[in-house]
Amino acid sequence: ITIYDEYGNQCDYLPYGVFDSFASPAHIIIPTSINQIHSSCFASSNIVGVTMHNNITLIDGYAFQYCKKLKEVINWPIGVASIPYGCFGERSNLNFEIPTHITSIESYAFWGCSSLTDVTIPDGLTTIGERTFYSTNITSIKLPEGLEYIGDYVFEGTQLVELAIPSTVTY
């Protein structure tokens, strides 16, 4: 696969909205020639899975927003230490384990992911942005010591009945 930008230049990134509304229920394997996934790249597409590689150094916000059929993300790139803003918003079937190298989860990253019920936050994560788990079905979550920031409304609309906040949290 060769990707071209709007000017006909070959590029080493997936441009904004390139697979937006892609109709096929495919599993996408990102070629190793691609090192960036730009905003809304897969938004509203029917992809069921994506396999990434460690050459990817950037994933912009909303990359997989509204991908209602997305079930799995394989190999979150080691060089991308954050789950970007709105990345998986409004997804119902996602089965995603937060990788151990993630240090922050940006706002709205998992909002509306109704399939999320039991979440493990890895040690080393310091920031959870606002409304990250808003309107999910989370019933259980363990927050690690070292977590410093929990944004506003992170757990609004969830099924949590109990939450232990680590002593390291300052907001």
Give yes or no for residue 127 having a pLDDT over 80.
yes
Report yes or no: 82 and 105 within 8 Å, Cβ to Cβ.
yes
Closest by CA to 144, choosing from 162, 110, 121, is 121
Sheet strands side by side (includes 149-150): 82-83, 104-105, 127-128, 149-150
* Predicted TM-score of the model (pTM): 0.92
Q: Give the tens place of pLDDT for each residue, 61-104.
A: 999 999 999 999 999 999 999 999 999 998 878 888 899 999 99
Residue 5 in this model has a pLDDT that exceeds 80: no
Dihedral of CA 19/94/74/25: which sign?
A: negative
18-42: average pLDDT: 91
Mean pLDDT, the chain, as a whole number?
Answer: 93
